[in-house]
Amino acid sequence: MKILKNLFLYILLFISTLTIAETEKFTAIGSITYEPSSVFSSDPPKDSEAKAAKIAIDAAWKKYISGFSDEKRNAYSVVKSSVENRKNEFIIGHRIVDSSIDKDQKKLTVQVRVEIDDSAVQKVIFDKTKKGNEASEYFSWVFVTRAQDSVKSYMNKVTKINKAESGGSDIQNVSIDGDSTAVTSDKSSYSKSTSGGSVEKKRDKVTWIQLSSKEIDSAMGKALVNAGYEAIDFGDIVGEGCGTTTVEEIREEFVNNTDLSSQTESGIKKAAKNCEVKFTAIGTLDIMQQKIDPVTGLTDVTVSVTAKVYDTSKRFAKKIGSVGPVQHHGLGDSEQVARGNALTEASKQAASTIINQLRAR
């Protein structure tokens, strides 16, 4: 099939990703109690700082693992022992940023900054969790990146009801004195008021514009290639005559509507099946309006990711995974920088989550 023409490009992409490490940094604290180095000194022995640093590094590793998504944690559980036995291979480096000695308590405490190669850990997860020939299957995707162009908010509609009532009555008093009878009359009045009402809130009206999806396309390609899948551009599926709806038409529909129509989504799945593509992902990256981060003063942009993953190898597509909606934040000196940081992080996490779901299911 002509669809294999991209295989060489993805092999080159695979080679390039091996040289680019995606790292995460963590700060942790380690403490030890010690015996003074000599009877004439209250200082700790020379190797005490290294021992405390090791405890801090172990604590940083636990922080790293605790930040895994449920899908990644499930997949990691399969390879946990083999990874942690070689943990030093994934720790790029560490640096002691602070230390203190409590000579009364004979306690040494250090704060360590640790850098971990997450891409290397993820590759081990991918390699160790392959299921038969699944990892050599075709995998395609259609993602749309859209940004809020405008948000129209409506004021609350308040309806108030006030009701007032008033009335009166005559009260007669009768007195009898011997042979005479006297009748007197008094008047009594009252008033009553009732208030109530309702508040009607109208939902905000949001309009979207389409932006480039290069971040998610790149992240999906890297994750799939590293995991051993055959990453196939959906445009090539249409180019092979397996479908009629183009990527541009799909993205345009997603921007103008909250969701894809059932006809369009069905067309995507059928096109993938017709080209013998086993897995297909459909999703959006929604860029929300920017705001100022109160702590740093930098521009803060939020990206919300939603995706669905299908097994499209049979007559009826079966949903086998999903992402989100999950929100990721990006900070920067400008809206463009913050948006790029948020999109990069959201794309990387979405791609990893999809692969980890396939492996952990």
Quick: pLDDT tens for 185-240. 555 555 666 666 666 555 556 677 888 888 888 888 877 877 778 888 888 898 88
Of 122-131, 156-165, 262-271, 292-301, the least confident: 156-165
Q: Is pLDDT at 143 greater than 80 in this prediction?
A: yes
Q: Is pLDDT at 5 greater than 50 in this prediction?
A: no
Residues 169, 162: Cα–Cα separation, whole Å:
24
- Per the omega criterion (within 30 degrees of 0), is the bond before 294 cis? no
Q: How confident is the model at residue 169 (pLDDT cuts 50, 70, 90)?
A: low
Q: Is pLDDT at 346 greater than 50 in this prediction?
A: yes
Burial of 229 (0-12, 13-18, 19+ CB in 10 A): buried
Residues 330, 303: Cα–Cα separation, whole Å:
8
pLDDT value of residue 162: 64
Of 20-24, 27-31, 162-166, 209-213, the least confident: 162-166
pLDDT value of residue 157: 61
Number of H helices, E strands in the chain: 10, 12
Residues 296, 294: Cα–Cα separation, whole Å:
6
pLDDT value of residue 21: 52
Of 7-21, 196-210, 281-295, 342-356, the least confident: 7-21
Q: Which residue has the higher pLDDT, 153 or 118?
A: 118
Residues 259, 250: Cα–Cα separation, whole Å:
11
pLDDT value of residue 150: 60
pLDDT value of residue 8: 39
pLDDT value of residue 82: 83
Q: Which residue has the higher pLDDT, 182 or 16?
A: 182
Range 281-298 average pLDDT:
86
Q: Is pLDDT at 117 greater than 80 in this prediction?
A: yes
Residues 212, 203: Cα–Cα separation, whole Å:
28
341 and 293 in contact (C-beta within 8 Å)?
no
Q: What is the mean pLDDT of the chain?
A: 78
The residues spanned by each domain of the chain are 16-129, 133-152+204-361, 157-200
Q: Is pLDDT at 13 greater than 50 in this prediction?
A: no
Residues 150, 288: Cα–Cα separation, whole Å:
10
Q: How confident is the model at residue 109 (pLDDT cuts 50, 70, 90)?
A: very high
Q: Which residue has the higher pLDDT, 136 or 77?
A: 77
Q: Of all residues in the chain, what percent are helix, strand and coil, respectively (each to 5)?
A: 40, 40, 25
Q: Is pLDDT at 353 greater than 70 in this prediction?
A: yes
Residue with tokens 């306690």: 107
Residues 60, 241: Cα–Cα separation, whole Å:
51
Domain 133-152+204-361: CATH architecture, name and number where available: 2-Layer Sandwich (3.30)
- Residue 263 corresponds to which tokens in the numbers above? 């006809």
Percent of the chain at pLDDT exceeding 70: 75
pLDDT value of residue 194: 62
Q: Is pLDDT at 175 greater than 60 in this prediction?
A: no
Q: How confident is the model at residue 355 (pLDDT cuts 50, 70, 90)?
A: confident
pLDDT value of residue 124: 83
pLDDT value of residue 152: 53
Q: Which residue has the higher pLDDT, 108 or 122?
A: 108
Q: Is pLDDT at 115 greater than 80 in this prediction?
A: yes
Q: DSSP assignment of 133-185, as one string?
A: TGGGSEEEEEEEEEEEEEEE--PPEEEEEEEEEEEEEEEEEEEEETTEEEEEE
Q: Cα 351–352–358 angle (5° rounding)? A: 95
Its pTM stands at: 0.57
302 and 328 in contact (C-beta within 8 Å)?
yes
The distance of Cα 191 from the centroid of its chain, to the nearest Å, equals 60
Q: Is pLDDT at 28 greater than 90 in this prediction?
A: yes
Residues 168, 186: Cα–Cα separation, whole Å:
11
pLDDT digits (tens, 9 = 90+) for 41-90: 777 888 888 999 999 999 999 999 988 877 777 778 888 888 888 888 89
pLDDT value of residue 10: 40
Residues 298, 191: Cα–Cα separation, whole Å:
60
pLDDT value of residue 291: 86
Neighbours of 101 (CB within 10 A): 17
